[in-house]
Amino acid sequence: MVKITTVKTKPYTDQKPGTSGLRKRVTVFQQNQHYAENFIQSIISVVEPAERQAATLVVGGDGRFFMKDAIQLIVQIAAANGINHLVIGQNGIMSTPAVSCVIRKIKAVGGIILTASHNPGGPNGDFGIKYNISSGGPAPEGITNKIFEISKGLQEYHICPELKVDLSKIGKQTFELCIFKAFTVIFYIFLATELPLLMTHCLPLVVGPYVKKIVCEELGSPANSAVSCVPQEDFGGHHPDPNLTYAADLVKTMKGGEYDFGAAFDGDGDRNMVLGKHGFFVNPSDSVAVIAANITSIPYFQKTGVKGLARSMPTSGALDNVAKALQMHLYETPTGWKFFGNLMDAGKLSLCGEESFGTGSDHIREKDGLWAVLAWLSILATRKQSVEEIMKDHWQKYGRNFFTRYDYEEVDSDAANKMIKDLETAMFDPSFIGKKFSSGDKTYEVAVADNFAYTDPVDGSVSKNQGLRIIFADGSRIIFRLSGTGSAGATIRLYIDSYEKDPQKIYQDPQVMLAPLVDIALKVSQLREKTGRTAPTVIT
């Protein structure tokens, strides 16, 4: 008989889930007393006590350092709170899209995902805990706010300290508890994900075991085209963010010209970056637009049809151009995949994407890196053109949204908050509208200046303060927002989006095309002066 213990604790004030769960340094979870336990208890407390004895929770993660410790705690706390069933990936490994899929398939009440996604791993890296609801999608703000409120008042948690599971053993492990029904944990092998990088001959590469199974075994790409497929707690020292900076090895390999298609994934397999031969980069905002424009090449959409399109606010307007041409509804949501869930559940949305290397559809409720790559492969197979040709044709037909994002990571939080506050004050001055800003031979006139707010068309919930937008008369946009996924200091994101339809200009270098707008953004915000940062950490 397993013993249930109630442990007195002190609440923490900093357990507010961000864009995608609670992300902190591993050391915060490890060294602060009861830190992880408190947050896990707060999550489980949102499952109604009356539901728990019939409830199943899915648990999985990206294999990063501290994940196994966190899973043991989840098992012990879930059992002590009367949750009846846990379904866990063998060794705890399961990609984020796989967790979403399994929650839906087995009709679980939700799931807990152990990942800090694209943030570095290892003992000095980041860890994260995220709650997904029964639809398979990340918990919406109503629920994450509830978790935060519980965490701020938490005085005790319940735990079965002696209950230990063998994470490596496939199958059922059952435990007798004094006051509840027997508690069962089932371990499965779920084709799991893992870190970044892989390139492929003709085909892509992908996330660990999925890549091997689908891209190599099923599609016949050579085995050596799948790189970095074995999960490691520190991602082999790599930064698991699939962008041009952190997937530099892949970019270099692709530049060699030997491969036609390359793709990189993040730690938990939900993000993707697509490259063509010679390292031709597909901007994520363009990637979802290309998939939308070629929707008939994708078997899933041939079956289901397409109900609507969506992008996050900072994502470029490339998708809007396709939506207009296809006469499809386009939703503009705040940053965070959780905002797409309600639209999908209501049958209003089929395909969506974000500038932050996220692309997905309503087959699940998370972005899905491998799905996006398979969508691209379907398009390549139908059109029999290269990635570069497809992209260039697209720009010829729809015009091009030049897009760039500057990330300033680990900026002093006070300085970053003050910069945003001061900019907002300046933007809200009535004289700001109509103001002209010049750089080089370009002049832009402000048409709209606001802090983006979103009203969910399904449940009417309102999300405010989602990013400062300066929209100019020609439609060009400068956007500033603070990241909700960083773990130390503040990350300032600057996004620039500018549309060009002149066929003579669409092949230019985005950094050259957008230089005047970047210059204006830096001057208006006084980012350099106020943060002391002279250059971004990452440019996309």
SS (H, E, C) 261-282: EEEEECCCCCEEEEEEHHHCEE
Residue number, 65 or 395, with CB nearest to ligand G16: 65
Report the Cα 474 to chain-centroid distance in Å: 30
With CA atoms as reference, report the closest residue to 78 among 214, 191, 184, 193.
Answer: 184
Does residue number 358 form part of the binding site for ligand G16 (CB under 6 A)? yes
Phi and psi (nearest 5°) for 531?
-115, -10
Residue number, 241 or 260, with CB nearest to ligand G16: 241
Q: Which residues contact 54 (CB under 8 A, 6 or more apart)?
A: 84
As measured in angstroms, the least distance from the Cβ of 508 to ligand G16 is: 27
Choose one: 86-94, 226-234, 329-337, 343-351; the region binding ligand G16 (CB under 6 A): 329-337
Burial of 103 (0-12, 13-18, 19+ CB in 10 A): buried
As measured in angstroms, the least distance from the Cβ of 49 to ligand G16 is: 30
Residue number, 149 or 409, with CB nearest to ligand G16: 409
Member of 194, 354, 362, 497 binding ligand G16 (CB under 6 A): 354
CA distances from 400 to 22, 27, 249, 292, 496 (A): 36, 44, 28, 15, 13
Member of 15, 19, 41, 81 binding ligand G16 (CB under 6 A): 19
As measured in angstroms, the least distance from the Cβ of 117 to ligand G16 is: 3
As measured in angstroms, the least distance from the Cβ of 223 to ligand G16 is: 27
Q: How many CA atoms lie within 13 A of 449 on its CB side?
A: 18
As measured in angstroms, the least distance from the Cβ of 436 to ligand G16 is: 30
Q: Considering CB under 6 A, how many residues would be counted as binding ligand G16? A: 18
Residue number, 382 or 413, with CB nearest to ligand G16: 413
Helix ranges restricted to H, 346-435: 369-383, 387-398, 413-428
d(CA 230, CA 194): 7
H/E element, 88: strand 85-93
As measured in angstroms, the least distance from the Cβ of 115 to ligand G16 is: 7
Does residue number 483 form part of the binding site for ligand G16 (CB under 6 A)? yes
With CA atoms as reference, report the closest residue to 67 among 129, 137, 148, 20.
Answer: 129
Does residue number 356 form part of the binding site for ligand G16 (CB under 6 A)? yes
Does residue number 117 form part of the binding site for ligand G16 (CB under 6 A)? yes
Active-site residue identified among 20, 117, 350, 476: 117
Please confirm, yes or no, whether 438 is among the known catalytic residues.
no
Render 389-404 in DSSP notation, one character per residue: HHHHHHHHHH-EEEEE
Member of 126, 141, 194, 270 binding ligand G16 (CB under 6 A): 270
Residue number, 24 or 118, with CB nearest to ligand G16: 118
Where in the sequence numbering do the catalytic residues fall? Answer: 117
Question: Which stretches of the chain bind ligand G16, using CB under 6 A?
Answer: 19-20, 117-118, 266, 270-271, 312, 335-337, 354, 356, 358, 483-485, 493
